[in-house]
Amino acid sequence: MNQQLSIDCPPEILVSLHMNAEGLAGFMKEQAAIILFREGRLSSGTAATWLGIPRVTFLMRAMASGALLLEDSTDDLARETSLPAETR
């Protein structure tokens, strides 16, 4: 069962960002997914599923925002190469 979150947002913020509430919600959801991925708290596959986009698309967006996909460690390589093929 999905949970829904709600936050207060003054109208002047939406106006200054040139967004409506739905646009800001989508932007914040994507940014949260990227940040949680960067922190290692979400996998790229889980983040992509949450956003409803292909994993490759999520990884491209995360990289564009400065996320590192792999650190120079054997643990990262093993984790990324052990994922099921359907999440790659």
- What pLDDT score was predicted for residue 65? 85
pLDDT above 80: residue 57: yes
| pLDDT reading at 49 higher than 90 | yes
Mean pLDDT of the chain: 86
Q: What is the pTM of this model?
A: 0.73
Could you give the CA distance from residue 52 to residue 50 in angstroms, rounded to a whole number? 6
| Residues 58/69, Cβ–Cβ less than 8 Å | no
Predicted confidence at residue 86, as pLDDT, reads: 57
Q: State pLDDT tens for residues 60-83.
A: 999 898 777 656 566 666 766 676
